[in-house]
Amino acid sequence: MNNNIAISFEHVSKLYRLGVVGTGTLSQDIHRWWVRDVLKKGDPYLKIGQTNDRSTKGDSDIVYALQDITFDVEKGDVVGIVGKNGAGKSTLLKLLSRITAPSTGCIRAHGRIASLLEVGTGFHPELTGRENIYMNGSIMGMTKHEIDRKIDEIVNFAGIERYIDTPVKRYSSGMTVRLGFSVAAHLEPDILVVDEVLAVGDAEFQRKAIGKMKDVSQGGGRTVLFVSHNMTAVKSLCHKGVLLENGMLKEIGNTDDIVAHYLRQGNAIDNYRRWDEPEIKKEGFELLEIGVRAKGGDWNKTMRVDNETELIIRYRITEPYEAIHLTFHMKNEQGQKIFSFSSGKQVNSKHTKGTYEQIYTLPANFFNWGNYSLDLFVVSQSRAFIIEEDIVSFTLSNRELAIGSWMGKEPGDITPHFPCTETKME
């Protein structure tokens, strides 16, 4: 194993039998134990499983929770593991934490592992918070002297000083996860494994926890594996991402790219739509065509943040309107609305029968690079009678940067370039 590698997953798979446990007979269970656990050979009753797609019924009682996972994590890396529910994220962490064993393949980890996979992981409910700190530290291989040196810091970070000598069974879930994370982060593990449990904590504690994980990785040079559905937390904390889908490794790479691809799952980015027979029509309005493209380009051309972009919409009016206008809500890749816009020309609000085209020019160097989508509102007399969410989506790629320029992604959804004058005063 390379000295710079903290964790190595080599062709790791995990199969589960649905509905029943064991092989079906006592003699086969004993045979499996002898071959697999004593002789250290492959499982003689291992069957070919189906992909773990929880939304389909399937025709096999054997499923892959994970299938042929292979990747390395370097020392000091902070890796975000993302994917839909049932993708295999928690299973991967349980295998790493040795809660369960892989069906095939192997996992090699260099150093001491601290895991926080569920609320109350490793805590005894009858013991006090203080006693659980010592018990957890001892399990991780810490000496009593090392725990004594850290205990005040652990308690202060968790923010439960008043209850530290109270049995854990009387803690709320938030208090339990506060103490559990504080123990895991402060007892100097080489590898910190954190599942979705931070979502139980309040906003203030989540900020503290993310800051602590940054300190652990950057200051201490320790490795962090972080599972979360909070993409903002993943992007702020992790510099590498792993995307799992139906138990398989879909992609590994830069966090921004991985998060963008995860958010696009099941929502194909489509920057152009056209209907020969209108499907969106109501009260005399028929949508014929809508798309976003680089200004003057075609629909397949890559759109960059430093080029002007145009939104084109064509529609038909079959009944005259005294007042009608279109409004769009722009959304980022998390689905958050960042602003709205419309033609704003009341002089054009009166429409007779016919076909119309509107072209909106989106300025260059205004948006950050990433994925965006638009909601369409067709409004007449202050009433939206057509509302279409995600009517069109598009991707803006980064500008072409010169060597030595800033290569990271700036914060925020828009990054406007404002006019500026500079005068030398002396």
**pLDDT at residue number 23:** 58
Please choose, from the candidates 218, 155, 143, 216, the residue with its C-alpha nearest in 3D space to the C-alpha of residue 185: 216
Q: What's the longest Cα–Cα distance across the chain? A: 92
pLDDT of residue 366: 92
Q: Specify the CATH architecture of the domain 72-264.
A: 3-Layer(aba) Sandwich (3.40)
Judging by DSSP bridges, how do beta strands 50-51 and 62-74 pair with one another? Answer: parallel
- Cα–chain center distance at 352: 48
Q: What is the model's pLDDT at position 401? A: 45
Q: What is the pLDDT of residue 129?
A: 93
Residue 407 is predicted with a pLDDT of: 44
Q: CA 195 to CA 307: how far, in whole Å? A: 40
In terms of Cβ atoms closer than 10 Å to its own Cβ (0-12, 13-18, 19+), residue 422 is exposed
Q: How far is CA 243 from the centre of its chain?
A: 8
**Is the full-model pTM beyond 0.75?**
no
Asked if domains 72-264 and 272-397 share a fold, the reply is no
Q: What is the pLDDT along the chain (426 residues), one digit of tens a residue?
A: 567 899 999 999 998 876 555 556 777 778 877 877 788 776 666 554 445 454 454 445 677 889 999 999 998 889 999 988 888 998 999 999 888 889 889 999 988 888 877 766 778 999 999 999 999 888 777 789 989 999 999 999 988 899 999 999 999 888 888 888 888 888 778 888 888 777 666 777 877 887 888 887 777 778 989 988 777 778 778 889 999 988 999 999 888 788 877 876 655 557 899 998 999 999 999 999 999 999 988 887 878 888 899 999 999 999 998 888 899 999 988 788 999 998 765 545 788 899 999 999 999 999 988 889 999 999 988 889 999 998 998 888 776 544 334 445 677 888 888 888 889 888
Is domain 272-397 annotated with CATH 2.40.30.10?
no
- 357, 347 Cβ separation under 8 angstroms: no
- Chain centroid, CA 133 distance in Å: 31
So where are the chain's domains? 72-264, 272-397
DSSP state of 61: S
Report the alpha-carbon distance of residue 211 to residue 236 in Å, rounded. Answer: 10
Category of 317 on φ-ψ map: left (φ > 0), alpha (ψ -120 to 50) or beta: beta
